[in-house]
Structure 1
């Protein structure tokens, strides 16, 4: 077997070379396999700490610093030593390690979830002594939970204690259906507490919590009315100002997600056809020849096809996996199993409206159109500084600090993803890409602000065209820093679909059938100690 990779490697050759480098790293003890459930240790540590009620014990509360440092140590160790034979899985694990640190920092340092976080829960209506109350709820409304808006973007909360809580429950008579909804603070009952904590640490966009990110759509009218929240005409559309929406019924949700899931499946298979046949996608070298079916095309067009293929693949890949969550949680498990977490309105769409790019340019692309999965963690430091009075609540200074922090964190996440790869990469390129986005967003925003009187005299179509052209050209010019580095690490060799219709028709590389996961060896790996054993192979 070759010990070095040829300049123009085949699909098989790259996989063999990658496997050789992986096996050598494991055998030498330099690296360790990425295993389940070890990869969830930090999240388990965070959940375990939050399960311990420290609201009345200052010593227990101060232990959060020890937990925080331990999580950082674990994730740094994972980034240094844990690898997967699949480069895409390694890349995602690097991103996840940094975000786990960010997420843990939010809940252990910037926020006090046991004191301030509340989520929406539901219970069946029942009539008791002429007053409608919940028959299924055992969690109390606490006086500690007041109108605190976590991260500055949560739903409004009214103080509910004693008689006020009873009045709030009685006011839900007008709520539609058999359920009534209420704000659930940190529970006293351990079983409810476990569900509450797990929901907290895995609700990255905060849907159904008081730290819900501002791009989430409004609550359905019956839910909002039951909670005593105001309802405006715009709220009834269940669509946020950035174009993200949710659904009232599981039928509506199924109509949306199933059709798009099938479409994403086919698009990913089509993109994978191009990726498999073009050596650029496993080396990041744009000077390599294109596949034979692209012979005769000018070089600039081949470059455009390659870059656009990667962008389409990335967006579709994110959408494809995001759709799995509502399909499993709401359509398969359903509210019967998951309760409110199975209701269709809990699951918002992934992408904003393209009009936000036309109206706001590159800033709109990143802050409104691009997926908002990590937004709560990105904005937590800035909101903490604002709450402490170290930054003004509004103004250009706070905006610039918030933008800078978000792009630096995002750059750090993707840099870590690149750094953990088996194949050689240039992680600094990923950080450079995100820092350049920061520069461009700041420059475009400042430019438009300075020339606002002149720009406002232009027709709307001209302003929108300018925003669209600038956004596309900037991303097109800078994306090689991001995309080509992922190619060099072998990230695009990941097989997103298990069965390929195109390869079933004979359009794949030789030696690969329609079952694309034939080379995957998922199984139990036994280490020298029990904590070194687990499920691996991806």
Structure 2
């Protein structure tokens, strides 16, 4: 085992260069590896024409083929880019299926825009090509759908007039910057803690390090500790990305450039209220508290399956199909993000974690029904049952996801360039150098393998 995470990264760098020279992998090349994204943009842009809609399956087939090829062959040493390759490849497939196969963007989607006297109104796909380009780029690049009609799960809850949306709570600059700073501090602390444990380097069979306190050497407690650190790392990273995006959209560009997307009320917190877990258990955890970035592709696929099975969309069977489909797709998505990492990846662990969640929801629902009237009428009983059983299921299943992420080396990535703790000397006892600046290596270089269509910037 290497003496430190830095030594392991140096080993990976040599392995990566050898694999590139042997033509075993392809680096991430821009703009070549955006061809699937460009194909989606072009289709949406021309979708009002019936002749284009008739070849939608051909377009989707190309995107599917290109994305799978990228997933299997494209790799990068930067661990953040490595995870993004997998997420991007599968997301292109999911999002293309949503926009090309399961929906008609020309008819099904609307975005918020400015109307008379700066009021808000819905805008379907514009007729003029110039406006349609902006509309299309916004649609294909959105994740949370902050200014789109599909942001609202229940259309009946959309206020009329639409401008009343501005009355919702808006994060101030101080709030956003405070949350962003807090996420940076959390990442710095978590990174330091993780790098003192070889488990987070990818050596997931390692026992507790000798410097751990005695209670963490208990295998049951150690497993919980690593699961909690993993969850906190994921959550901090999501807050970091979300709040950074909000700061850029609201306070760098603003409404003059981005329109309604630059208004503060368009950027609600990425996580919901934790009380949803107390009230609804695992359903509340996944459906209300945890982020909903990928909700639309999951539900669109589930509804399409329900329709083709001939089920009543309001029936329990239909709800179960949609839920199972969503968790299975989520498993494939997260497994792909670990598959494209450079370490010894175990993507099946991610799939197992997510397909077990409907099982936990089903068991918890049976228990809730068994408790009966007391569960429905007594808040204390409901909260106690939900938090206890949700925590138990988390404890049993989260080690699968934690190991899947750690095995690929995702935590070797340096998300923030400056570390206050390591700059002050914390971590030197564990082989970490005392330095403020943490980013290392070459992030970009020119790539040319002799084919003109694959020349570009390699990452």
Equivalent residue in structure 1 for 2:440, among 493, 518, 526: 518
Q: How does 1:82-161 map to 2 (within 5 A)?
A: 82-123=74-115, 125=116
Change (3 A) 1:236 1:519: closer
C-alpha spacing 1:387/1:401, structure 2 compared with 1 (3 Å)? closer
After alignment, is 78-87 or 509-518 more displaced? 509-518
State the SS of the aligned residue for 1:456: helix
5 Å-filtered alignment, 1:24-35, equals 24-35=18-29
Deviates more, 1:347-356 or 1:179-188: 179-188
Task: Write 1 or 2 for the structure with the bigger share of helix.
Answer: 2
What does residue 455 of structure 1 align with? 375
Distance (whole Å) between structure 1 residues aligned to residue 214 and residue 373 of structure 2 = 48
Match of 2:39 in 1: 45
Q: Which piece of structure 1 moves more, 440-449 or 364-373?
A: 440-449
Change in 2 beyond 3 A, CA 1:470/1:217: farther
Contact 1:91 1:421 (8 Å CA) reproduced: yes
In 1, distance between residues paired with 2:370 and 2:316? Answer: 13
Question: What residue number does 1:11 align with?
Answer: 5
- How do 1:175-186 and structure 2 match up within 5 A? 178-186=117-125
The alpha-carbon distance between structure 1 residues 291 and 216, as it changes in their structure 2 partners (threshold 3 A), is farther
* Higher RCO by CA contacts (8 Å cutoff, separation 6 or greater): 2
- Normalised by the size of structure 2, how large is the TM-score? 0.92
Contact 2:426–2:434, Cα closer than 8 Å, also in 1: no
TM-score, normalization: structure 1?
0.79
Q: Displacement, 1:416?
A: 1.6
The answer (yes or no) to whether the contact 1:423–1:490 under 8 Å persists in 2 is yes
- Mark the runs of 5 or more structure 2 residues left unpaired by the alignment: none
Q: 1:207 aligns with which of 126, 132, 146?
A: 146
Per-residue CA deviation, residues 444-502 of structure 1 (Å, 9 max, x unaligned), is: 12332354335335x31222022112112211221121111211111100101100000
Whether the 8 Å CA contact 1:205–1:213 is kept in 2: the answer is no
Deviation for aligned residue 1:115: 2.4
Q: Report the more deviating stretch, 31-40 or 323-332.
A: 31-40
Q: 1:42·1:74 contact (CA, 8 Å) conserved in 2?
A: yes
Instruction: Quote how far apart the aligned CAs of 1:415 are.
Output: 1.7
1:39-78 equivalences under 5 Å are 39-55=33-49, 57=50, 59-78=51-70
Structure 1 unaligned blocks of 5 or more: 1-5, 126-177, 239-245
C-alpha deviation, 1:284, in angstroms: 4.1
Count how many residue pairs are aligned between Structure 1 and Structure 2.
454
TM-aligned CA deviation for residue 275 of structure 1? 1.3
Match of 1:443 among 363, 369, 375: 363
Pairwise mapping of residues 383-398 of structure 1 onto structure 2 (< 5 A)?
A: 383-385=303-305, 390-398=310-318
Paired residue secondary structure (1:121): strand
CA distance in 1, matches of 2:298, 2:79: 25
Output the CA distance in 2 between the equivalents of 1:417 and 1:532: 23
Partner in structure 2 of residue 430 of structure 1: 350
Of the two, which has the highest radius of gyration? 1
Deviation at 1:326?
1.1
**Displacement of 1:263:** 0.4
Aligned partner of 2:271 among 346, 351, 354: 351
**Residue of 162, 181, 201 corresponding to 1:282:** 201
Deviations 1:136-170 (A, max 9, x none): xxxxxxxxxxxxxxxxxxxxxxxxxxxxxxxxxxx
User: Do structure 1's residue 490 and structure 2's residue 409 form an aligned pair?
Assistant: yes
User: Which one of the candidate residues 132, 136, 142 is aligned to 1:193?
Assistant: 132
Equivalences for residues 164-179 of structure 1 within 5 A: 178-179=117-118
Match of residue 240 from structure 2:
320
- 1:186 and 1:449 map into 2 onto residues whose CA distance is 46
